[in-house]
Structures are given as structure tokens and as C-alpha cells.
Structure 1
Amino acid sequence: MSSASEIGAAIIEAAANGDLKQLRAIRKKVNDEWEFRKICDEYSDFSTGRTVLHLAAGIGHFEMCKFLINSVGVHIDAFTYKRCTPISEAVKGGHNKIVEFLIKQGADDGIPNTVGSTPLHYALLKDNSELVELLVAEGALLDADSVDGTPLQIAASRGNLKAVKSLLYWEADPNFYAAVDDGPLVCAVKSRSLESLAFLLAAKANPNMYVSGLSPLGFAAKEGDTRFLKCLLRSNADPNLVQTDIYKPIEEAAMVHNRAAVEILFPVTARLPHYPNWTVDGIIEYTHSEEFKTMNEEKLTKCLTELELAGMHNASHKDYYNAINKYKRASLLDPSNPRWISKRSLWSSHMGSGGYAMIDALRWIRLKPDLPVPHHGGENAAAANVIFKKFLMAGLAFLLDPNNQEKCSAFGIGLFNYFALLCEMSSPLEILAL
């Protein structure tokens, strides 16, 4: 092996195969120990960016990890293309012994990757209670947001009462959520974990706080198990809350024929004037009438128009935070329309919030997974190709440096323009003029 690239390729192959003997043999052939360490740190798997330590940690090869850190001195917090660290790879693989070893050697267990996920997020997604306890005790970031939500949202959404208790014990905020619209209380209701719901409420989670979508009470009203509804009402959840939801909790219950929930909510819900017969039977009957359906289709269209206009107004005044909230609401009311998501990504990029821009970009891609590369013939072909190339280049630059505000903004604009091109909202030439 005469070149650094050949040595690097051999190192990566040995790590991928878990061949420590081969790795030691390669080291002996490189006379300069500093040069060997440099190659280990700089060369990585071409497709993922995993270094030799990432690969060793991911496959659970403890002795190789010890060799690389104690004998070679490789960089312990190296990044893959998606900014994942070796400790994240070990957590994802469920290799508890390696995680503990890396922490003792000084690995940073709070570094988020490009979608905001930290080792604690991955431990919760794997339902690995031992690692959750280890990471929170070591001071992991409890309120770090990610594409899957905060650690508390993940724990509640999986009905993991032990993790919910542990996170709250270490003072995770029961009212914080951003990227994922369902707050911890809603997550607990959706996972049908009454114990998690009760524990969150005891920890002062606000039953009337939410940014968009259904309130905790609105979700509980749709559940056949009315204990969730009763638990929230005992904690002062307000069934008459002034809000922008199209339906009140009692209507949510009636629309799914949840008579038991309607009966519980009826005595505490103020009469809605457009109901001709304000009784339990009358409410259920009216919510399934053609009049109700027509009225609410019109209300939905009006609401979406108002949200879009208000969001554009906020964005034009650089009030991107409120613009994003408007489009979050629009997306929940009209979930099959990816336009709301693409605009949220654009506004996040303008705010310099690279993680949130990427999160919404991934949501958009999930919603439209089969969209082809755009092909336009005629006079607009060249312009379409320029837009697509700009989007790809901006996306690559952002992935490599997601904390760079300039690259973040370019990525958001590129995504929005690419989406507009695909949906033919305007011609490519008009988009290029933006």
C-alpha cells in the first residue's frame, strides 16, 4: 500500500468487516503513527461518511473501539455526512458497553445531527431504558428538538412511562415542543398511555396549551376510552377554549360516534348556536348531516385562505416565526397539500433554523416520494435544468454545513423553487426572477 487513499480504503474495509487483526497489521505498515491517525480520521465510507470509529461503534466491536481511541487516538466526535457521531452509531446499534466507554473517554453525547437527533433521541426510539438512564444521568440535552420531536415527546408517543418519569425527574419541560406539532400530552393520548398522561399533568403540563392542530382535549374526545377525557377535565382542560380549531371537542366526539364522550362533554360545553337541537342525540345527528358537511367545507376553505394570507403577511414583514405557525395550522387542516410544508421550510431557512428547514424538507419528500426529476421541453428547458441543479447543489452544501445561515437560506429557497417547478405553480423563467 503506497498511497494514503489505498491505506484509507483498507482501514475502512477492515472496520466494516470487524477485522481488528487486519487493522493492526495496516498500522504496522504505516511507519508514522501520526500519519496513521490522520488517515483514520480523514478517510470514510464513501456513501455515508462513516469513519473507522463510526463503523466499529456501529457494529459493536468494543475491542476495536478501545484500540482506535486508546492506542491510535482517533477523533472521538467525528461526523458522518449527516453529522452523526460514533456515540450515536453505538446507541442506534444498542451497544451499551461501547456507549458507556465512549462517554468515559469524553465523547459529547449532546451533538445533534442534521435532523436534530441526539444519542438520547435514538435511545428512546430503540426503547433502550438502560441507555436512556445513562444518558440523562450524564447530562444529555433533555429538550433538544428533532424530526421525531423532543425526548419527552418520543417517550410519551411510545407510551414509555419509565422514560417519561425519568425525563421529568431530570426536569425536562412538559410544555415544550416545536418541530413535531403534537405536544407531550397529545402524544400520551395517541399512544393510549393513561399513566403517562397523568404523570405529565402532575408535572404541570398545561392541558390547554398547543400551537396548532387538535388540543389534548380534542384528541381525547375521539378516544373510546373516556378515562383520558375525564383525566384532562379534572386537570382543568377547557372544552370551550377560544381557538381557531374548526371543531370543538364535543363535535370531535360526535363525528366519530363517541356517545360516551359527548355525554361527558355536554354539561360543560357552551351551546353552539348553529345546532338546531342542542341535545346529545341532536349533536351527534347534526354532525353527520349534509348541512354540517357543507358548512364545514366552506369554513375549511375560508380558514385556509385566511391562514395563507396571514402567513404571507407575516413573512413579508420578516415575522417568520408566526408565518411558520400559520402554515403549520394550514398543513394540519390540509395534510395532503405539500405547499404548506415547502413554505415552512423556506421561512425556517430565512430564520437560520437549518434543522427545522431540513425537517420540513424531509416531510415534503415523504409526502411526495414519487415525484420525478422535472423535464421541460421547449424554451423553458434550460431554465428548469438550472433550477434543479441549483437545488441539488444547495442541498449538498447545506447537508455538509447545516449551521451555516447562508447555505441554510439557499437550501430553503432552492427547495421552494424546485417545488414550484414540480407543481407548475409558475414557469421556470418566472421562478428564476425571484
Structure 2
Amino acid sequence: MNPSVLPHALMPITPRPQQIFVRGAGARLFDEAGRSYLDWVQGWAVNALGHAPAVIAAALAQQAGVLINPGPAFYNQPALDLAAWLVAHSGFDQVFFASSGAEANEGAIKLARKWGQLHKGGAHEIITFSNGFHGRTLATMAATGKPGWDTLFAPAMPGFAKAIYNDLASVRALIGSQTVAVMLEPVQGEAGVIPATPEFMQGLRALCDELGLLLIVDEVQTGCGRSGPLFAHSAYGIAPDIMTLGKGIGGGVPLSALLAREAVCCFEYGDQGGTYCGNPLMCAAGLAVMQTIGAPGFLDHAKAMGEKLATGLRALSTQFCLGEVRGSGMLWALVLGSDVAPEIVTRAREAGLLLNAPRPNLLRFMPALNSSPAEIEEGLALLGRVLAEVL
């Protein structure tokens, strides 16, 4: 460890291993000692194209020499270009850019409440779901269904009723005169990669149509090709009113987006904004990412690599008598059956494989979308050795 870098100068907001990572290349990270690690965390599904992809580096370098941030009160070309690309490929009509998934979700909450003021008699309550995750601002923490978060920074912001995921009757039971929207992840990532059923998603759309409610999909983790299609909700054959994107849209730089149908876009001047919202530097990187993901054959390759990963995980589950393998695209979880996930994460890191355990009894896998067959095989082999050691 470099003595000039004092760990205690950083607020301890999460336990961190002793390694200091100094370089990344594609599927790999390298620490200060020069050791290589196959990275199946990728910034928590952020690095869609892996570490330091040339296409992002080139876009940032070119844009940095031209215009970095004129401010959100002026148009800039990269923001216009990225917004046009997203509208053309999503079915939504307008886009607001922000810097993080939580900020995009905060914007979605504000937009729904504004719409409720104008079109639904001041209705403001949003139904979200137990074990859901929407971010770390006060509003998005209140929307989140993670146990204990309602008291972490009490008092919690009111206006978020929690239904049971994949239980349409529990949603209907919570709807009242002040309900304006239903908000959910198509796949609950932090809960352990739990997908919504087609019947549930289609039922929510029908219920919202029946009662005049907005349907908001949080695709911060599932969007931008991570779950297979460009946007996860499209696999369910539904059209939400509002969608949020984050993580993969920037490929590693701070960028997120709030998209909505024109009929829902009711912000007035001054209602929404932010110093860095839609800055050309981040939008140039985002456009490079989305054009790469949207190129012919890219998502087909990612889907094939995801299937290869899932097949390998199922084989390991059978070999070691483990639990369910669930997910899609390049977002998967392996249920372990006991609370050994933290130990496996530590042992895997020592073996040169970076993993994530959102729950003590399961592992989550989020490789770069452009991973190669050899990289998938290498990771599965490393994981198999670690499972043999631990189990």
C-alpha cells in the first residue's frame, strides 16, 4: 500500500479489502502489486464494456478538448444526440439526464407527484415493493424496501406503501385515493436477482391502466443490455410510463437518465435541474456506450455469454448440491443454501476472481457484457476451485 494514501482519510462507508486497484483493462482489474483479477462485479453492473474501453476513452478525450460543461441552462450537442438515440430506441418521448441512478429515481418520484398534482387531485403516494432497491437519497431510501432502511435516517419520507413482489393482489389492496403510481425493478437486483413474472408485470400494466396510475420501471441495473434485451421491460411486452436508467448507460462514468411518455412530462421551469445534468462530457461517453451496445450482434453475443455463464453455474450447483441459479442476460445469482457467501467472496478474491454477495446466502454475477468465452470459462473454473475449498 502506498504510504502517501491514508485509508482513514476516506469515510468508511463500506468494508474494503486492502488491495488498491490502479488499472483496469476489459474484464480485468490490476492492483498496486501488479496482480490481475478477473472482475465479475464490474462496478456493480456499471462497466457494461469492461474497464477502460477504448470507445469511452476516445469519446471523453475528444469531448474534453471541446466542451465539458456549459451548464444545464444551455443546449449541448452530445446531450441532444444521446436523448435522440434513447427516444428512438425506447418508445419514450423525453429524457432528463442526471448523474446517478438514485438521482434519476428521485426525478421519477418528483415527476409522478407533479403529475398527480396536475391530473389526479394531488395524489402523491407511490406503491413500491418489499426488498426493492431504488437508491440512497432520502426519497429513494423511503421507496426502497430493504429491511431497516425506514429507520436508518428517521423519520423516513412518507408516501411509499410496500407491496409484495410478484403478488398483484397485494398491490391492489394498497391502492387508495392518494395513490399516483407503482414503481418497481423488473428484476430485484439487491434482493438476489429476483425477476418479476410476466403475469405480474402485465397485470401491473393493466391495473395501472384501469385505475389511471403511472407505471414506473427502475432499470438502473437491468437496463442497457444487462438483463438481455436493451431494456428489461420489453421482454414482458409492456410499455411503462416512466423509466430510469443508470449504471451501464455511462459505462463507468457518472450518468443516468429519466425517460417518460410525453403525456407524463409535466415539469415546469425550475421544477427539476442540477449543476451537472446533461453535461456534454458524460453524454458523449453515454452515446458511445449506447451506440456500442446497440450495434448489430452485440446483445446477441452478450446473451450467448450469459447463457454460457448460467450453464456453468447450474453445473456447479449440481456438483456441490447448491440452490437455484436465476437471472438472465449477464445478471445472475447462485443460491448457496447457507451463509457462506462472504467467505467465498474473500477466497475468490485471493484466487484472482472478484465476486459480489448481496445476501449472505447467495452470489451475484455481473461480468462485462462483452466478455469472451475464455473469460467465462476462466471465471467458472476459479469459482469451482473456491467452492471446493469452502464447501
TM-score, structure 1 as length reference: 0.23
Greater Rg over alpha carbons, structure: 1
TM-score by length of 2: 0.25
**Structure with the bigger percentage of helix:** 1
